[in-house]
Structure 1
Amino acid sequence: MTYSSSLQHVKLGSAIIDGKKAPEKSMLYMASVQNENGQHVCGGFLVSNNFVVTAAHCDEKRKNKENSEYIEKICQHPSYNSNIRENDILLGGMDNTFYKGQPIQLPTSEININEKCSVAGWGNTECNIVGELRVVDVSIINRDVCKKEWSNLPVNVICAGKGLYISCSQGDLGGPLVCDGTAVGVASFYKNKDCDTPNVYTDISKSLTWINKVLKQNDC
């Protein structure tokens, strides 16, 4: 799996609906997670000089895991459950001579979010072909409201974006939910082509102990 910087020209469509083009030289933490054929499969974001965060399920998209240009290690959350996408987060350790982005801040403790946030991505879709990074504001949705739409909602998640952020493919999954300049969530799953269902993000604050351990020891 290759991680390409948003500074490179990723010529892909965008699945961010009702969004706008991201300002030039903004969101330098954004990354395009690609398979061995150079095809964009997920979003990601830089959290240190040589680690990118994305969704753990994005690693399942690789066809040839021995051919991972730029990637030195894959650190999947130890409690990741692929059946319900619980703890759907991984850290990809990169060759830092390749990636020249700017890391985004992570939470320092568990947080209670009650503000408008944003999501961005290049997600490849046939619905809205746009070859540029796009961003849209989304609102946080109460967990009780979200559970009415998702009966098997994982524990450590944040719901957001009802009616604003949908995708016709999975190209925007793995990208960050950003609130006040801090990455608080990782896009995990959504209901395809359904604007009325909240999108679900892995809550980064619930994985801080594991994340900080990996970043400190530079290894899984």
Structure 2
Amino acid sequence: MPRGRPRQFDEGAALDAALRLFWRHGYEGTSISTLAQAMGLTVASVYNAFGNKESLFMKAVGHYDRYSASLYEEAFAMTSAREVARGILMGEVDLVSGDATPEGCLMIQGALATGPESEAVQKAMASLRRQAEADVAARFAQVQQAGGLPPGWSAKALAGYVMTVATGMAVQAKSGASRQELIDVVDMAMRIWPEDQRG
């Protein structure tokens, strides 16, 4: 066992503690000493168990799936594009304004703006956001192929619209917007959504 590492070590709990700090303060706003304290480890033990701060952050991002993965799974199981879109947006409301999690979204505020030394983290997060949008576009394309979107509507553009609204809600939540205020945004956003063309 590496020197300084506690005898009782729960990796999942340690990652969750790190995740919540990164979620609340961002990558550059969270120091390794603060992380070690929250994780119940020494700084040396953090390095031994997780590598450097960048490696720990990316592992914490992977741990974020325990909060966000079901959001998209449940939304993608819906039948119509409207239901999928609303499912994603309401899931984001729960994620960014829930009592059990920090305000906002790790994928947005974790490393949106960084210094040159953290460029790799910034690029990794941008890639993950692009992948999420591509997944939404692919689901809308399936609906489109089944005749569920009006002629001329773009699955890719609709995915961009949904993810832009979701991103904005995350920023608003971090700025203090209430859950009801975010739900009102979802209701407004859905007013422009096309009805399911299959009736």
Q: Which has the higher contact order (CA 8 A, sep 6+)?
A: 1
Normalising by the smaller structure, the TM-score range is under 0.3
TM-score by length of 1: 0.23
Give the structure with higher Rg (CA). 2
In proportion to residue count, which structure has more helix? 2
More strand per residue: 1
Using structure 2 for the length normalisation, give the TM-score: 0.24
